[in-house]
Amino acid sequence: MAGPSASENYAGVFDSHVGFGARPALLMIDFMAAYTTQGADFFAAGVVDAVDQSVGLLATARDARIPIIHTRVEFHPSGRDGGLFVRKVPALRKLIAGEPEGQFDTRVQPADDELVIIKNYASAFFGTSLQATLTADRIDTIILAGCSTSGCIRATAVDGMQHGFRVIVPRECVGDRHDGPHQANLFDIHAKYGDVVDRETVCDLLQSLR
């Protein structure tokens, strides 16, 4: 006999919502050419789709004049600042200064007045100034777009919640290299760390702020 579905199993325990706060910021996580260039080690068709969906989200956030922060990964050529992470995933060693794959996808390039944070690990909070920056701006809600769902999005969602921020993930605006980990992590983020919602829901909220 088949057991309960995942949704049924989680019902009543892992099905609450955090909702939007009053002061959101958009975090564009690692939308680098490494994930959207055919033949690159990290290429993922799901990320290409997420970039496509995030173009409109980014435009709406700019119209709403909320803070927008972009992150990308960059290591010293020695790889020492990557610690065990680059030993576990050696392909990361390629992401050094000047490497084309380490640059932002041209469709979601940061504007001149948008902050760019360089990170060495999965979470955008770990070892960076992100938390202090958000706190200084009195941000209470972080909207996460980017890649990958099972890696940097999940890690940032967990740390975001642990630092006291409401976490919102527009499902169409995050991507991974395989649908299995992508869907599993969206399910888990929604169950425990934030709200996974449609892009349209996020854009409607941002438009209301204008």
**Residues annotated as catalytic (active site), given as ranges:** 152
**86 CA to centre of own chain:** 20
Question: Do residues 182 and 150 touch, judged by C-beta distance below 8 A?
Answer: yes
Residue 25, strand partner residues = 142
Q: Using DSSP, state whether 116 is helix, strand or coil.
A: strand
Q: Would you say 117 and 70 are in contact if contact means Cβ atoms under 8 Å apart? A: yes
CA–CA–CA angle 172, 61, 187 (5° rounding):
30
